[in-house]
Amino acid sequence: MTMTTHGAPTRLSFATRRFMWLGASTGLLGLAILADILIGPAFLNVFDVLGALVNPSGASDPMVVTIVHAIRLPMTLMALIVGASLGVAGVQMQTILGNPLASPYTLGFSAAAGFGAALTILFGLQLPLIPQMTVPVAAFAAASMACLMVYGLAHIRGVTAEVMVLAGIATLFLFQSLQSLVQYLAAPEVLQEIVFWLFGSMLKATWFSVWISGTVLLVCLALLIPDMWKLTALRLGDERAASLGVNVPRLRRRVFFIVSLLTAGAVAFVGTIGFVGLVAPHLARMLVGEDQRILIPASAVFGGLLMVGASIASKLLSPGAVVPVGIVTALVGVPFLFALILTGKRRHW
Amino acid sequence: MHSNFFAGLAACAVSLTMTVSSALAGTITVTDTLDRTVEVPDDANRILLGFYFEDFYAIGGVDAYDKVVAISRPAWEGWRNSQWKAYVAVNPELESLVDIGEVDAGTFAIEVAIASKPDVAILAAWQYRALGDVVGKLEAAGIPVVVADYNAQTVEKHVASTLLIGEIVGQKDRAKELADSYAAAVADVEARIAKASGDKPVVYVELGNKGADEYGNSYGNGMWGGVIELAGGTNIAAGKVENWGPLNPEYVIASNPDAVFLAGSDWVSKPKAVLMGFGVDAEVTRGRMQPYMKRAGWAGMKAVQNGQVHAVYHGGARTLYDFAFLQYIAKVLYPEAFADVDPMANLMAHYAKYMPISPEGTFMIKLAD
């Protein structure tokens, strides 16, 4: 608000344009969500689906209600939540590390999550009381461990972007090789199961996972709101942000934990879905700029759009089967990114 | 001059003795399932066996493993654990065979294989492909390699593999008998289905290794997909997944299958998997099948409403006795045409006639009897 009233006329129109972009992409996301719920290998009638969606008890065919409510809705919502989480996590990772190549995966969180999952699949471990939560809990725990490793190193050597990137990449390689070791030890059928987990698939989405990951996303967004100005300032560089009164190490630490929570919450249930966390922030930044007040929601919207779009594409690619969505996200997102790089007029990093 | 002459003489003598010894031992020329022509010793008694352990027993007889020096033990002990234990119980010698490692896991040890001094190596087609250049090294070490292929799941390859192993272990008549009865059993199933009336039933098959919480792999063309096709069913995974992969849950529900087959096995440390095989109680298997019925939308499925939910032993495909599983699936789909066929009894008969053990455990069952 302050920026628009203080700015010159061109600045004002730019601000309006940014809000228009955000509005347009949110509208597009809404359409994509609707399309994802309408499309499926059962080829249900559009009106039946809408009827089952709006008024489940009044629908004539219980099969339609089951398909819409127990199968399609959780998958669509999970795609939305995972995409939004990774989008926000990605943009914050790029902000605190000052690096356009950073993503939630740069620091090894996903590799660690994959290792945790692979380990439980290999040994067939089961948690007491909540056996269906074993793999997500293990993935979450391993991701937290990676987070603590990076944090510990940064704590000792100083919380700078360079130290965190180096420690993160070392962690990434460590967990990747541990993951490969588990795969090497696994029998073929178990290996298949591990590989399928690593691909990332919406098949694992349930209402339960929607609630958990959704809550994590909302809590993290709420935690980020007070820091929006500071994060915008941080993009000017550590020194300038510090001169503006930002406690840079404290901010970096705080956001780092939020990012690891977001990433773990997203990948624990559906497996490692890469790429979204790298690309969604760039798409958002190209269209709306650096102001975090609008960049955060835009990254969430683009992340969601990429994931829901990938979900639609995977259904259209092979109706009936389930092409792991992690494979499709890159296929859908890369052309999009190329187009923006080729047509973009501004420098966006 | 002299030294040259003697060297030549010695060389002649050596080559002469070699010819003589090979003529004494004798070789036969066999053609394997990849259409390779291979010279193998006619009384091979140091065999390296890569896979198809049960079929080797069926063809070679009770003493078959006396002629074996090395096996890929993880492919037996690791993949079909209860089966391995059942055979070790009657033949403890199996434990002392040299382990050459497992091809898929990349642990195949060529030095161990060569050091076990086999005079012929029998590999599965998938092992031959996975080994690549390593096969050349075995051959360079003087070990002829022949390839059997029951994984193809065709009568032609089953027959060819059986006759091939029969020739190598010197059991041609027994192999012929096995191959003929296999081909006859499959032909009988096809003839009965051809005569049966009614629509082709719709079938869904799923590997029960993940438990009910998550949809496991289904089979498009090969493996169970091929068996369902032969049994006269319409496989809903055909054309959806190429080899294997999970289907979309809503597609399974919307396809409304007439029969569901869960493929069970004796996976270790898989508390939710559909457990089957040697020494597994049928009620354990049924207990593991029960949660699948509670999956979203399954209650309305024809297969569930009509009680046509079954479990079949995953180790049953790709073997000489898989005709019994073919009969079981065909009987579920066309009960009248197979009224006089008892697949489990046929499986028992196969074991009684050709194998050193009997199949005690759960191999093919209906959820509710």
A6 vs A169 pLDDT, higher one: A169
DSSP codes of every residue in A299-314: HHHHHHHHHHHHHHHH
Please give, rounded to a whole number of angstroms, the shortest distance from the CA of A64 to a CA of chain B.
9
Q: Which helix (H) or strand (E) holds A50?
A: helix A46-54
Residue A349: per-residue pLDDT: 64
| A204 touches B: beta carbon within 8 Å | yes
Neighbours of B305 (CB within 10 A): 11
Structure token pair of residue B348: 């028992």
Question: Could you give the C-alpha distances from A89 to A265, A276, B39, B342, in angstroms and in order?
Answer: 11, 10, 63, 60
Alpha carbon A210 to chain centroid, angstroms = 14
Q: Give strand pairing partners of B124.
A: B148
Mean pLDDT, rounded, of chain A: 85
Please give, rounded to a whole number of angstroms, the shortest distance from the CA of B357 to a CA of chain A.
26
Structure token pair of residue A131: 């056996």
Closest-approach residue (CA) in chain B for A319: B240
* Backbone angle region of A70, left / alpha / beta, with phi > 0 → left and psi within -120 to 50 → alpha: alpha
Q: Residue B248 gets which letter from DSSP?
A: P
What domains are there in chain B, each with its CATH number?
22-180 (3.40.50.1980), 198-366 (3.40.50.1980)
| Residue A196, C-beta contacts closer than 8 angstroms, at least 6 positions apart | A271, A324, B246
Residue A3: per-residue pLDDT: 45
ipTM: 0.72
Taking the C-alpha atoms of residue A253 and residue B358, their distance in angstroms, rounded to an integer, is 65
| B104 touches A: beta carbon within 8 Å | yes
Please give, rounded to a whole number of angstroms, the shortest distance from the CA of A123 to a CA of chain B.
7
Taking the C-alpha atoms of residue A48 and residue A63, their distance in angstroms, rounded to an integer, is 11
| pLDDT tens-place string over residues A36-77 | 999 888 778 888 888 888 887 776 678 888 888 888 999 999
Q: Which of A187-191, B261-265, B296-300 has the lowest mean pLDDT?
A: A187-191
CB B179 within 8 A of CB B163: yes
Please give, rounded to a whole number of angstroms, the shortest distance from the CA of A319 to a CA of chain B.
7
DSSP codes of every residue in B57-82: HHHH-TTGGGGEEEE-HIIIIITSHH
**Torsion of Cα atoms, A297 then A302 then A307 then A312, to 10°:** 120
Please give, rounded to a whole number of angstroms, the shortest distance from the CA of B332 to a CA of chain A.
24
Number of domains in chain A: 1
Taking the C-alpha atoms of residue B222 and residue B229, their distance in angstroms, rounded to an integer, is 10
| A129 touches B: beta carbon within 8 Å | no
> What's the CATH number where A120 sits?
1.10.3470.10
| A189 touches B: beta carbon within 8 Å | yes
Residue A11: per-residue pLDDT: 58
For the entire predicted model, the pTM comes to 0.80
Taking the C-alpha atoms of residue A62 and residue A60, their distance in angstroms, rounded to an integer, is 6
| A180 touches B: beta carbon within 8 Å | no
Q: A184, B214: Cβ pair inside 8 Å?
A: no
Taking the C-alpha atoms of residue B40 and residue B44, their distance in angstroms, rounded to an integer, is 8
Residue B334: per-residue pLDDT: 96
Confidence of residue B293 (pLDDT cuts 50, 70, 90): very high
Q: B249, A44: Cβ pair inside 8 Å?
A: no
- If you count residue pairs, one on A and one on B, with CB atoms under 8 Å apart, how many are there? 99
Q: B215, A203: Cβ pair inside 8 Å?
A: yes
Taking the C-alpha atoms of residue B225 and residue B205, their distance in angstroms, rounded to an integer, is 8
Per-residue pLDDT for A188 more than 80? no
Taking the C-alpha atoms of residue B143 and residue A290, their distance in angstroms, rounded to an integer, is 68
Q: A193, B236: Cβ pair inside 8 Å?
A: no
3-state secondary structure A138-166: HHHHHHHHHHHHHHHHHHHHCCCHHHHHH
Structure token pair of residue B96: 């002392």
Q: Residue A62 gets which letter from DSSP?
A: H
Closest-approach residue (CA) in chain B for A190: B209
Structure token pair of residue B89: 């119980």
Residue A104: per-residue pLDDT: 80
Burial of B32 (0-12, 13-18, 19+ CB in 10 A): buried
Assigned domain for A311 exists: yes
Q: B269, A319: Cβ pair inside 8 Å?
A: no
Q: Which residue from B106, B240, B300 is facing A318, i.e. has the nearest CB?
A: B240
Per-residue pLDDT for A20 more than 50? yes
Assigned domain for A33 exists: yes
Confidence of residue B25 (pLDDT cuts 50, 70, 90): low
Mean pLDDT, rounded, of chain B: 89
Within 8 A of A203 by CB-CB distance, chain B residues are 214-215, 246, 248-249
Q: A70, B78: Cβ pair inside 8 Å?
A: no
| pLDDT tens-place string over residues B182-234 | 999 999 999 999 998 888 999 999 999 888 988 999 998 878 998 999 999 99
Q: Residue B306 gets which letter from DSSP?
A: T
| A203 touches B: beta carbon within 8 Å | yes
Q: B247, A320: Cβ pair inside 8 Å?
A: yes
Residue B21: per-residue pLDDT: 42
Taking the C-alpha atoms of residue B141 and residue B118, their distance in angstroms, rounded to an integer, is 10
Per-residue pLDDT for B61 more than 90? yes
Q: B248, A123: Cβ pair inside 8 Å?
A: no
Which residue has tokens 């065709």? B154
- Sign of the torsion formed by the C-alpha atoms of A145, A329, A286 and A344: positive
DSSP codes of every residue in B145-209: EEEE-STT--HHHHHHHHHHHHHHTT-HHHHHHHHHHHHHHHHHHHHHHHH--SPPPEEEEEETT
Residue B284: per-residue pLDDT: 95
Q: Which residue from B74, B269, B297 is facing A123, i.e. has the nearest CB?
A: B269
Assigned domain for A161 exists: yes
Neighbours of A76 (CB within 10 A): 26
Neighbours of A61 (CB within 10 A): 14
Q: Give strand pairing partners of B38.
A: B30
Please give, rounded to a whole number of angstroms, the shortest distance from the CA of B341 to a CA of chain A.
33
Percent of chain B at pLDDT above 90? Answer: 68
Assigned domain for A266 exists: yes
What residues make up the domain containing A213?
Answer: 2-343
CB B302 within 8 A of CB B257: yes
Q: What spatial distance separates the first Cα and last Cα of chain A, rounded to whole Å?
A: 24
Q: A126, B271: Cβ pair inside 8 Å?
A: yes
Neighbours of B319 (CB within 10 A): 21
- Sign of the torsion formed by the C-alpha atoms of B100, B103, B109 and B111: positive
Q: Which residue from B209, B213, B249 is facing A189, i.e. has the nearest CB?
A: B209
A53 vs B107 pLDDT, higher one: A53
Q: B248, A321: Cβ pair inside 8 Å?
A: yes
Assigned domain for A349 exists: no
CB B101 within 8 A of CB B131: no
Please give the angle made by the CA atoms of B338, B344 and B347, to the nearest 5 degrees: 110
